[in-house]
Each structure stands twice: as C-alpha cells, then as structure tokens.
Amino acid sequence: MPQITVNGRVVEAKQGETILSALDREGIRVPTLCHVKGLEPRGACRVCLVEVEGFRGLVPSCSYPVSDGMKIHTHSERALEARRTIVELLLADHPDDCLYCQKSYDCELRSLAESLGIHQRRFRNTSEPHKLDLSNSFIVRDEAKCILCGRCVAVCNSVVVNEVLNFGNRGAKAKIICDTDVPMGLSTCVMCGACVQACPVGALTEKKAMTKGRSNETRVVRTTCPYCGVGCQLNVQLNGEDLVRVTGVENAEPNRGSLCVKGRFGYDFPYAKDRLTTPLIRENGELRPASWDEALDLVASKLKQIIAESGPKAIGGVSCARSTNEDNYSMQKLFRAVLKSPNLDHCART
C-alpha cells in the first residue's frame, strides 16, 4: 500500500490507482470537468491539475497513478493559477446566457468559476455562432456551450454502448458529432438521455423541461421507475406539483444513474387527457364507467362461464412489466393454481 502526502497529510493509497481516486476516497476535492467515475480517465479538461514535489510540470490527477512517497499539493498557488487560466479560456468561448440557461444552477463550469474567484472575462470571445439542434424528440443540443469535455462521448460509448457520439474535426473546429456528423434526430441515438445527465454545462438539455423550472426552483423526490420490473432508481424534480424532469440516481443500484428513454422522458402520462381513471364496462357497444367491485365481479363471472363452457385452456392472461415481482407471481399463481390454465404471457417478452 503506497503512502502519499497530500497537503501535509499522510494518506494510504491503493496500488495502481490514480491520484484523483485516492483523493476522492479521502474526501479531498479536486475539481474536474471531464472525469466520469468508473470509466477510463480522459485527461481532456486539465482542470484537475495538481502540483507534485520533484515534478517539473503540473500533473493531471485523473490519469496519473500514485507512487510511494509522492508529495502532492492540490491547492498550491501554481495549481490554482493553472485552473483559473483553463476555466477562463473555456469561458472565453462560452455564451453569456446564464440568466435563462436551463442548466444555470447545475452548471459545473459556472460553479467552478465562482469557486476560483473568476468574475469577468480576460480573453476575447472568438467563437462562431451555432444553431440549436432541435431535431431530437427529447434532447436539445447547443454546440456553442460545449466545452469538449467528452463526458457525453464516454457514457454513450462505454456505458450505454450505443456509440453515437464522438469527437469530430480538429483544432479550433473540433466538436462533438452524432454518427457521421448528422443532426441528432437523424442519428442512431436511442434517446436514453445519459449524455444529458453527464453534460456538465448546458450543451445538452432536456427539451420537455424547458421553461418548467430550473433546479433551484424544484424539490427532488426519489422513487422507483414504474415502467418495468428492474427497479431503476429515479430522482423526480417537482415545481410545486408539476413534474419538471427525471434523472437517474447516481451510485444507486441497479441502474447507477442510467435510464432508458421511457424511464427518463416518459413521465408525462399522469397529465394525459385520455388517461383511464376508472374501470369501464362495455354495454350495447358503448363503454360506461363502473366501480372496481362491479368490474371485478363481471370479470369473475365471465371467467367462470368460459371455464364451464369450454374448459380452463380457453382462457389466458397477460401480465405487465410495470407490476412488481410479487404481483406477477400472484398473477401466475391465480392462472396456474386456481383457474388451472397454462396460458400466461408477459408484455415484456416481445
């Protein structure tokens, strides 16, 4: 177990781990804009630079491995000055629309600038104007706000493994592209929204959440996704009683922040005007509202009638993925043990 000294404090590290990993475990915060925990380090933003005694240059803590006896200074004036310069260069090409940016109060670039004491721009903005990409049904892309951290690329390629996003072009014209640089709505994107959750700035935001409220105006409720039996953990953001957006709970099992398109964006069904709120019984070709007792009594009598006339194999049931495991178990027990029918299917099978 190598021992390192961090800001004068002796810390035990693990063999082969990075400086950032060791610091994170000890609760010593070093900012980073490109790192995704659990994935290979990218070393793209260089915000996590630290000073190591005996090294001529500053070291990117997210990708440099620890070694025994290493003496690290995370907030030396040299390291802080390098971070300030990097953040100032990023801000130079960043739009001044924090007042109405959806990510304003969650923007890691803005928070980092504030923590480093950056209150005005030192460099001239030389970026070219970009148009919003609104082609995707759920995601808004704003290239002007992209800081090329690569976090969206990392999660798309290594977590979702859909490999839609990547870096395109070189130098000053470098940007994030979808497939062969097509609009996101025309790409092979499965609209899981992992890139939106990973983005540290407002380059990728949720279309349906626009104008509904930013994070400082919402309260967060943790719940379980209702769409299937996996049990993905959600953070639901509410503005009053209105649902604003849904994000995956980081480091929570079983999904660890990942969600499918339904779990992340299919949250507006409670507001559907054609949503059924009471059982319906068809009489003379027309549907009429009924109580649960009346509806269940009718179903029970019909099942008994069919079994009496044609036998138990004449009936079948379809269970729902949105039900709990216990409900699905009860469903199959009802059909196999009580009704004596083997005809049972599940909507998730297809």
Q: Could you read off the pLDDT tens digit of each residue along the chain, which spans 350 residues?
A: 889 999 999 999 999 999 999 999 999 999 999 999 889 998 899 999 999 999 999 999 999 999 999 999 999 999 999 999 999 999 998 988 888 888 988 999 999 999 999 988 888 887 777 789 999 999 999 999 999 999 999 999 999 999 999 999 998 889 999 999 999 999 999 999 999 999 999 999 999 998 888 888 899 999 999 888 788 999 999 999 889 999 999 989 999 999 999 999 999 888 888 888 899 999 999 999 999 999 999 999 999 999 999 999 999 999 887 788 888 899 999 999 999 999 999 877 65
Q: Looking at residue 278, what DSSP letter applies? A: S
Q: Are residues 12 and 84 in the same domain?
A: yes
Domain boundary among 88, 104, 129: 88
Enumerate residues 6+ apart whose C-beta is below 8 A from 157: 163, 165, 166
Q: Are residues 293 and 342 in the same domain?
A: yes
Q: CA-to-CA distance for 313 and 54, rounded, in angstroms?
A: 80
Domain boundary among 67, 88, 109: 88
Reading the block at residue 343, the tokens are: 């005809």
Other residues' Cβ atoms within 10 Å of the Cβ of residue 329: 12
pLDDT of residue 71: 96
Q: Are residues 306 and 290 in the same domain?
A: yes
pTM score = 0.84
Q: Are residues 254 and 313 in the same domain?
A: no
Q: Are residues 268 and 323 in the same domain?
A: no
Q: Kindly give the pairing relationship between strand 139-141 and strand 204-206.
A: antiparallel
Enumerate residues 6+ apart whose C-beta is below 8 A from 272: none
Number of domain units in the chain: 3
- On whether residue 43 sits in a domain, the answer given is yes
- On whether residue 42 sits in a domain, the answer given is yes
| Domain containing residue 228: CATH number | 2.20.25.90
Q: Are residues 295 and 335 in the same domain?
A: yes
- On whether residue 187 sits in a domain, the answer given is no
Domain boundary among 37, 64, 88: 88
- On whether residue 94 sits in a domain, the answer given is no
Q: Looking at residue 184, what DSSP letter applies? A: G
CA 129 and chain centroid, separation: 28
Tell whether the torsion through CA atoms of 193, 195, 196 and 198 is positive or negative: positive
Q: Are residues 321 and 269 in the same domain?
A: no
pLDDT of residue 350: 53
- On whether residue 184 sits in a domain, the answer given is no
Q: Are residues 288 and 338 in the same domain?
A: yes
- On whether residue 119 sits in a domain, the answer given is no
Q: CA-to-CA distance for 167 and 40, rounded, in angstroms?
A: 16
Q: CA-to-CA distance for 237 and 216, rounded, in angstroms?
A: 10
Full domain range(s) for residue 45: 3-88
Q: Are residues 67 and 34 in the same domain?
A: yes
- On whether residue 123 sits in a domain, the answer given is no
One-letter amino acid for residue 151 of the chain: R
Q: Are residues 237 and 250 in the same domain?
A: yes
Reading the block at residue 258, the tokens are: 């990942």
Q: Are residues 312 and 268 in the same domain?
A: no
Q: Are residues 288 and 261 in the same domain?
A: no
- On whether residue 83 sits in a domain, the answer given is yes
Phi and psi at 213, nearest 5°, equal: 135, 140
| Domain containing residue 48: CATH number | 3.10.20.740
